[in-house]
Structure 1
């Protein structure tokens, strides 16, 4: 029996469509080096630790242990303490994070392979629907889509803070499919994290594709691409109305 035709292609957002890491790296380095009385900046250490703290704090947020604002405070107060800047009040943490966000948002950019890939998928014919499934705060994630000009192209957005579940839980993938009124077998999902994105989508019944931008050595049974322009695995089956 032939596989059912693809009717939708959904994407992860940060690390797949938007270069979150570069924007965050440059923003935290600039924010720590902005004051003349700041201690000498070990940029590599600060950037690396910021990435670790972001993952740790976001995991706590997605688990419902802290609010979105609280996970932000956790990240900067922990980093400030480790850098010898003492204990920070919530007010000081919020003020620092506001300055960081200004720099971070100014750095939002799509990867260079995003525009040609979406153009090719749009031109593929049929009634192919395009969208995103992303973890995070809905206001911020929707603002990203709007800022980089993707809102009109990716009309279907499922975001964890609205869906009541976060990747890798199957529920968020099924919520997206329900919103599309499609069975999971007719939906492709592309993301840059093997377990959280591609493998989780596959377990949920979608056709998961791993966007391995870093060329990881991990072995996997799910389709793997190194750039979005290698989109043949996305259309491995006929596109249907």
Structure 2
């Protein structure tokens, strides 16, 4: 089929990989002293993305401690009755932070990554990564055998520019010699990924697993596995 996009760039965390729900479950269960199934933790991760995305639209609520705010929402979703103490939650958050320093917590590759990349490659679409990260994106992709599937991989820690700054998107476009009007960016935050892509002239698509942000200004899909259908519909 003929694509309306010649290049598709992906966010990493929250798009291709999520925080490992098994590791979150283990830390929460240990410190909050109750069982938290991984499936519940994964749903809580999605809820945290929505809440922090919402806060980014309100200057007075803009997150200052991303780690604490993010996992605070995860804990609220897992433990809505707040049966655990603040100290117990803090111990869980700090264990996850220490674990993340040693081994990236955002390590659970979502279903359908390889299949989507195979399909894009078969149709001649250039794939790339633009990620706000800590310098570990390339190593993570290499470990999964995926690094060579992307023509360009930009990690904000390495290039010194973070989304939503339009310059990081333009760097990716320049690297693969594509025009913004021919390119799509797929991410999980409307106020970081959608806004940054739009500023640079790219189209944007938001991964929204809970289906809560369909009216936030950007097209959405529920999962990475739905991207192919969305692209086929967009190109028809």
For this structure pair, what is the TM-score category when the shorter chain's length is used for normalisation?
Answer: 0.5 to 0.7
**Within-5 A mapping of 1:13-162:** 13-20=12-19, 23=20, 25-31=21-27, 40=33, 83-84=86-87, 97-99=97-99, 101=101, 108-125=107-124, 128-139=125-136, 141-162=137-158
Number of equivalenced pairs? 207
Does structure 2 conserve the Cα–Cα contact (< 8 Å) formed by 1:169 and 1:200? yes
Greater radius of gyration (CA): 1
TM-score (norm 1): 0.64
Structure 2 match to 1:62: none
- Report deviation, 1:124: 0.9
Does structure 2 conserve the Cα–Cα contact (< 8 Å) formed by 1:190 and 1:209? yes
- Report deviation, 1:221: 4.4
Unaligned runs of 5+ in 1: 60-64
Q: Cα gap change, 1:122/1:9 in structure 2, threshold over 3 Å: closer, same or farther?
A: same
TM-score (norm 2): 0.65
- Report deviation, 1:119: 1.4
Question: Aligned equivalents of 1:205 and 1:96: distance in 2?
Answer: 37
Three-state SS of the structure 1 residue aligned to 2:173 is: helix
Three-state SS of the structure 2 residue aligned to 1:13 is: coil
Q: Provide the aligned C-alpha RMSD in A.
A: 4.3
Q: Which contiguous aligned blocks of 4+ residues in structure 1 show a shift greater than 4 angstroms?
A: 31-34, 41-44, 71-76, 93-105
Structure 1 match to 2:223: 227
Unaligned runs of 5+ in 2: 57-63, 76-84
Q: Which has the higher helix share?
A: 2
Does structure 2 conserve the Cα–Cα contact (< 8 Å) formed by 1:209 and 1:234? no
